[in-house]
Amino acid sequence: MGNYWQPEIMKDIGKYIERYNLYQRIKNRTKVLVGKLIVNKIPEKLWIHLIMDFITKLLLVVYDRLSKIAYFLITTEEISVERLARLFRDKLKVI
């Protein structure tokens, strides 16, 4: 395969890049610009800001945002809300 050279190739590339750059600056935006990010407040007391989630309906994970301590409570899928509240209160005596 031979090498081919076009005498005007550098000028053509320069024009292409110039047009592409101009297009990028003047094209219409299809998405709304996102506003400024809001930083989450840092909790001031322990056990005020909790994150709770079930893992496979058998494990309740309770996480305190300030101390970064996670507690794992074993449950069953059939646990009632009252029993879950009691389990939460009895096992997490740090509150």
pLDDT digits (tens, 9 = 90+) for 19-57: 776 666 766 767 777 788 888 888 888 888 888 888 888
Reference 64, options 94, 89, 90; nearest CA is 94
Reference 70, options 39, 85, 92; nearest CA is 92
pLDDT digits (tens, 9 = 90+) for 55-65: 888 888 989 88
> What's the pTM value of the predicted model, to 2 decimals?
0.53
What gap in Å lies between CA 95 and CA 88, rounded to an integer? Answer: 10
**Which pLDDT band, with edges at 50, 70 and 90, does 91 fall under?**
confident
Cα angle 73, 76, 81; round to 5: 80
